[in-house]
Copies of this chain bind each other. A is one copy, B any other.
Amino acid sequence: MLKERLLQDISELKVHGRTTACRAPLTLFWTASGFECNVTGSEFWVELEVCFDVFEPWFSYTINGDWVGRQMLQKGRYWVPLFRGMSPERVKNVHFFKDLQAMSDDGNSYISIHAFRYDGEFYAVKDKELKIEFIGDSITSGEGLIGARKECDWIPMFFSAIKSYTYQTAQILDAEYRIFSQSGWGVHNAWDNNIHGAIPKYYKEICSLMPGAKNETLGGNQPHDFASWQPDFVVVNLGTNDAASFDQPEWVDTQTGKCYKMRRTAEGDYDIEDIKIFQQAVKGFLALIRECNPKAHIIWCYGMLGISLQLYLCEAVSAYMHETGDQFVSYLQLPDTTKESVGSREHPGFLCHQQAAEVLSRHIAQMR
């Protein structure tokens, strides 16, 4: 006989990803955020509430660590079955993943979790010994990991939390992880020179890059309580969109009329003044991450879509270390996307993410 219970009443449940303290319901903001539970019984359902204007959320889930389902979500509040017919006495580990990044272009796109329907008992999910926070752009949001190579629509269908290097790195290291990422964004500006597309500007709030009233109501604009979850490693995978912006037209701030553009010289080299702005942003972000995560080792990663800014990036990371004396920072080049490892939308595919996870997890393992 199936019983129903509200999420807020299940203390054994583990919540993944930055979110508010609210559990009635639990709001999922970021990619790979969700819940994890250990539960007995033969059958298990989850009650979702889903809203969006343009970009519908998707979810994936694993049972005992293996990916079993992925689906597009419709609007509304409804029940979704996650397993049926399993041996009732065994404990099943169920992990539900939001398979889409926080969509800053749709202030109404969220998944909320209300309740469960099941016929067993919940058991506590143990904390992992290792915690990692990933900060990044489309690569970290898993864009291009689903879909045929020829696909070029920028739609939720082609984002994946589970096939990404983040998930795989966490699996290899048996780590718990969170993701803070936004497709197209950079350290100083977005791929199109939009200076609002700068990840550091939003780092201190729960999820302040989501616009509009709904996010205000949900609490996404509230300060994030860093003390509540201190990662052992912060992995920053940014710079790819900053590099791209040197080859894009200027961006005009319609509010101020001001124009912004990362420039190249007449010879085609990077303008050194603009490089300094980029480097300043890198140093500033490192300082901010350190402020929020006093004991974490910070790893700046780069290279899955080319290394054009690598030397400048390294210079900035070094400069930060010299200027602050902070020694718990490292730089790591990740494997580039190749003809064989590319996914959809000209983004790194599963093979490239797999290679990145191997390199990154080895780097982390050496420092533990």
On A, residues with C-beta under 8 Å from B are 54-56, 58, 63-72, 74, 81-87, 146-148, 150-153, 155-157, 267, 269, 272, 303, 307, 310-312, 314-315, 317-319, 321-322, 327, 330-333, 335-336, 338, 344, 359, 362
Given contact pairs A68-B146, A69-B71, enumerate 20 new A-B contacts (beta carbons under 8 Å): A54-B85, A55-B85, A56-B81, A56-B84, A56-B85, A58-B69, A63-B148, A64-B148, A66-B148, A71-B71, A85-B155, A86-B155, A269-B327, A307-B331, A311-B314, A311-B321, A314-B318, A315-B315, A315-B318, A336-B359
Checking B70, B269, B338, B362 against A362 with a beta-carbon cut-off of 8 angstroms, the contacting residue is B338
* B66 and A155 form a contact (CB under 8 A): no
Which chain B positions have C-beta within 8 A of A318?
Answer: 311-312, 314-315
Q: Which residue of B lies closest to A279 (CB)?
A: B318
* B72 and A72 form a contact (CB under 8 A): no
Which chain B positions have C-beta within 8 A of A74?
Answer: 81
* B344 and A331 form a contact (CB under 8 A): no
Which chain B positions have C-beta within 8 A of A272?
Answer: 322
Which chain B positions have C-beta within 8 A of A338?
Answer: 362
A67 and B157 alpha carbons, distance in the complex (Å): 11
- Given A331-B314, A338-B362, residue A151 in contact with residue B70 (CB < 8 A): no
Which chain B positions have C-beta within 8 A of A335?
Answer: 359
* B314 and A63 form a contact (CB under 8 A): no
- Given A56-B84, A71-B71, residue A147 in contact with residue B332 (CB < 8 A): no
* A362 and B336 form a contact (CB under 8 A): yes
Q: Which residue of B lies closest to A155 (CB)?
A: B85
* A65 and B314 form a contact (CB under 8 A): no
* B72 and A82 form a contact (CB under 8 A): yes
- Can you give 13 A-B contacts (C-beta < 8 A)? A56-B81, A63-B147, A63-B148, A66-B344, A71-B71, A86-B153, A307-B331, A310-B331, A311-B318, A312-B318, A314-B318, A336-B359, A338-B362
